[in-house]
Structure 1
Amino acid sequence: MKTEISEKAQYLLKTLVEHYIEGGQPVGSKTLSDHSGLPVSPATVRNIMSDLENLGFVASPHTSAGRVPTAQGYRFFVDSLITVSPLASFDIENLNKNLDPDMSSHELVESASGILSEITHMAGLVTLPKRDQTQLRHVEFLKLNDNRVLVILVLDDHEVQNRVIYTKESYSEVQLKEAANLINRHFMGHALSLIRSKLITSMKSDQENMNSLMQTTLEVAEQAFDAKQEADFVVAGQENLIEMAEDQALNDIRELFKAFSLKGDILHLLDRCIDVEGVQLFIGAESGYQLLDECTVVTAPYQADGEQIGVLGVIGPTRMAYERVIPIVDATARLLGAAMDYSRR
């Protein structure tokens, strides 16, 4: 698309987008002529703007009210017209202060979501780490009543998870303790998903010689380390979207709040980003979800132990300060990953 637009038109488009992001009002030809620094008259600007409108980069919301960038115009602006600078040292220090490696993974995710919202004044969201990358430090099985067992998982990031499972057989406290000891002895430091699969593979391959302890361990472990749980995300700063919304977009933003409560579409969008390197932007309809048509989603994956285990980002109006938001999302992902790495040592 870049070859279709002259350098003069590109410069005027950049000026228009920057003015609209700053002020939120349609930008007229005289304003562009006065602020572009180009030796062009308002009449020339009008002709160029008309060409850009025909190409789909700008639109006229009202007759003689100036023009605003479209999602296509924002996309061209982000891809071709801005230079993203590294985050300032002050912002890096602020992020580091809020991403303490001594926090659990869930605390780190909540803090990252909050700091993204605080710095960008938009909605910050972070997915919880994929469980198949989480390593086991210790497990205990405690008998409750009937066939109910309390599972206590101590994970590699200082987090303790409790869950209740239901077994086919009613096991004694001694049987459950022996099963936990077997798992702790052989699988401490292993990924949760591998514990389950290795146990099932090794024990089912030798079912004829399987003793009572192995049977107990297999049934309890199949449920305790079940990796079918759907990843979730933490969101902060949804109220910022209401404050930043244009009048005509308020209904769309209110609908977006419903999406936060339903979570499914947003989770699916974030999951699409986990295997992609670096910052991703979904501007307007690019996300594929109608509720996000008036928004931009900026995401980046975060890593631990060299594996991409989650995604973070911000959701805001398409009229956002891209040169500011992109490096914030990028730096937060890197620092969150570093904190996750440190917490697993």
Structure 2
Amino acid sequence: MKLSARDKQVFSAVMSLYCNGEGVPVASSKIAKMKGMAICSATVRNAMARLENHGLLFSPHTSAGRVPSDLGIKYWLQEYFELATIAKFWQPDQEQLVTLAHSLSQHYQVCCVVGLPQVSSQKVFRVEVLDFDRKHWLVLLIDKAGQSQNICINKPADNSDELRYQFALWMNTVFSQQTLKEGLHRMRAMAHSAMPNCRDLLTQWTRELSLQLGTDNSIVVGERHIYNRLEQSNDLSLGVPFLHQVEDKLAFRDGVSVLLGTEVDQANLSRYIILSVPYFMDQEYQSRFCVVCPAEAPIESIIEEFTRIEQKGP
């Protein structure tokens, strides 16, 4: 889509005036009075008419000003911003993710859907194996900060405290200073070195650990802003299912990407924009940080927030 320099200027002015948190239709007279425009209202109206023919603007009411269409909003973000260069190879930690989600939601009245870091990339500092109950051992995979991933596994038939102690030593050899993902690979590769009494159960234990560590998780902050605005209470399936849909649409795209609310399987997200950024830890992709905001939200300011988190080198 090729626009003249004047039409681009008018279109940019409409977007800036509309996406300011209020979403009021923009009149030609208001644009003509803007600093640096130096054109009359008639010229602005003609430019608006051409932009409307391109499908970028529309008039919600007779004699009203113009507002951007969904196509216009997406075109503006993709053509006027270098989105792929913003928050490229973004590497916040989990605390920064959660803090940013709450800050954006509170300040801009938007909803944030954030995939939590993959458990499998957590680096294990030590392993403890506790006698949990009559049938189970409790395995604690503890990181350097003292946080742990815990899982119950079936006891071997000839369970004893000595065997449990030996198994804990073996698990520490396998997992020490390894990520959980690498530790699982090592469990399989080093099975021959485990105590004979435990080898029969290693396949089951490894499978159970894989299932738990591979579980996706997410946080959703500010969904009330969507429900209040839409005045309905239907479940929007925000969370992991929503993130999976976004990932399917934006696979392998780095930096900030934009989707229309109607491009995901959420029928009630018309006139919503989704800003999505993938994030990494230790050079490994983790998940996505998504901001679900109404079309009239101050999108430029929201995008700028992603640049405020200090970047770590790859």
| TM-score normalised per structure 1 | 0.75
Amino acid at match of 1:319: E
Distance in 1, matches of 2:56 and 2:142, equals 53
> Mean alpha-carbon deviation: is it higher for 25-34 or for 49-58?
25-34
Tell me what 1:233 maps to: 218
Tell me what 1:278 maps to: 255
Amino acid at match of 2:237: A
Q: How many residues align?
A: 307
Tell me what 2:162 maps to: 174
1:269 aligns with 2:246: yes
Amino acid at match of 1:142: L
Q: Deviations over 1:101-153 (max 9, x none)?
A: 7xxx4x55433422332444422332111123222112222233343332222
* Contact 2:138/2:151, CA 8 A, preserved across alignment: yes
1:306 aligns with 2:269: no
Distance in 2, matches of 1:150 and 1:134, equals 19
Structure with more helix by fraction? 1
In the TM superposition, what is the alpha-carbon distance from 1:68 to its structure 2 partner? Answer: 0.6
In the TM superposition, what is the alpha-carbon distance from 1:236 to its structure 2 partner? Answer: 1.9
Q: Deviations over 1:206-252 (max 9, x none)?
A: 59x97224445554344234456331111222334456x4xxxx147
Q: Secondary structure at the residue paired with 2:184?
A: helix
* Contact 1:9/1:48, CA 8 A, preserved across alignment: yes
Picking from 162, 178, 199, the partner of 1:190 is: 178
| Structure 2: gaps spanning 5 or more residues | 87-91
| TM-score normalised per structure 2 | 0.81
Q: CA RMSD in A?
A: 3.4
Q: Secondary structure at the residue paired with 1:299?
A: strand
Distance in 1, matches of 2:242 and 2:269, equals 10
1:155 aligns with 2:143: yes
| Structure 1: gaps spanning 5 or more residues | 88-98
Tell me what 2:63 maps to: 64
Structure showing greater relative contact order (alpha-carbon pairs closer than 8 Å, 6 or more residues apart): 2
In the TM superposition, what is the alpha-carbon distance from 1:259 to its structure 2 partner? Answer: 2.1
Distance in 1, matches of 2:251 and 2:123, equals 19
> Mean alpha-carbon deviation: is it higher for 28-37 or for 187-196?
28-37
Amino acid at match of 1:259: S
The sequence identity of aligned pairs, in percent, is 22
Tell me what 2:89 maps to: none
Distance in 1, matches of 2:195 and 2:170, equals 14
Q: Secondary structure at the residue paired with 2:141?
A: strand
Amino acid at match of 1:20: Y
Distance in 1, matches of 2:135 and 2:16, equals 64
* Contact 1:26/1:67, CA 8 A, preserved across alignment: yes
Distance in 2, matches of 1:136 and 1:166, equals 22
* Contact 2:275/2:290, CA 8 A, preserved across alignment: yes
* Contact 1:123/1:240, CA 8 A, preserved across alignment: yes
Picking from 227, 237, 242, the partner of 1:259 is: 237
